[in-house]
Amino acid sequence: MFIPAVSYQLDTLSKTVPDYLETAPKYVQKWNKDLISSLDNAASLIPSVANFLFLFLIVVIISFYLIVDRHKIEREMYDLIPQKLHKSFKMIENIVNHTFASFIRVQLVFAIINGLLTWAVLRLFNVGFAASTSVISGILTTIPMVGPIFAIVPPVFISFTEDPFKAVIVFVILLLAQQIIFNIWGPKFIGKAFKIHPIVVLLSFIVGFKIAGVMGAIFAIPVISIIILVIRDLGHHFISPKE
């Protein structure tokens, strides 16, 4: 029942969006000058967002080729490493694979939660296209760091076409809920998934952002987790035989 509803709503939504875009400026003109000024400031962020999306796309493409040619790359790596280090290298490889698998699972969990949250809020206020909009928001949530911000746009936009005041309420509820999910519960969940303390999660975000901007913040958790696990397991590997 859910999938046909989403398909129907997406088809209907694609036909009605042009009408929404035509009527939206009439509503925008009613907003005060401060809000318009804020939108102008937000527009200045577009180049930064575009740059991030470009870098993210590059990472996705590289990841795709790494997956496709994984075995070939693995063989070449083993050829470059002395035989006596193969066991340690295999251990590190397993840690890296497990860590990035956890990274993907975490993003999917966040996407499902945020998608269900969006659907519930839109249904609560009788906003149309709740199913299709929640799917779009869920997909956008999978974009690390900035995904939750982008995910708010579709439900707020759809709500705005029906009632600007309703859009404000939807925005506030989703924003507050996201603060709880991603800033309070999120670090604990990520810490459990990557086997690191929530404080380390928060510090990793900050340090990663300081070092390499948004991309640094995105991959800070997997990198820190890999470093910690490698040090721990290598320590056990070299210490245990002596004991």
Query: Tell me: the pLDDT tens digits for 2-13?
Result: 556 556 565 665
Interatomic CA distance for residues 76 and 74, integer angstroms: 5
Task: State the average pLDDT over residues 55-74.
Answer: 70
Residue of 178, 204, 177, 179 whose CA lies nearest to 190: 204
Q: Dihedral of the CA atoms 80, 86, 92, 98 (nearest 10)?
A: 100
Tell me the per-residue pLDDT of 16-49, one tens digit each, with 9 for 90 and over. Answer: 656 655 655 655 555 545 555 555 555 555 565 6
Residue of 205, 174, 207, 209 whose CA lies nearest to 187: 205
Share of the chain above pLDDT 90, in %: 15
Across 8-12, 60-64, 162-166, 220-224, least confident range: 8-12
**pLDDT for 118:** 93
Residue 121 pLDDT class (50, 70, 90 cuts): very high
Please give the residue that has the higher pLDDT: either 13 or 143: 143
- Burial class, 35, CB count within 10 angstroms (exposed 0-12 / middle 13-18 / buried 19+): exposed
Query: Would you give the DSSP letter of residue 83?
Result: G
Question: SS3 of 126, please?
Answer: coil
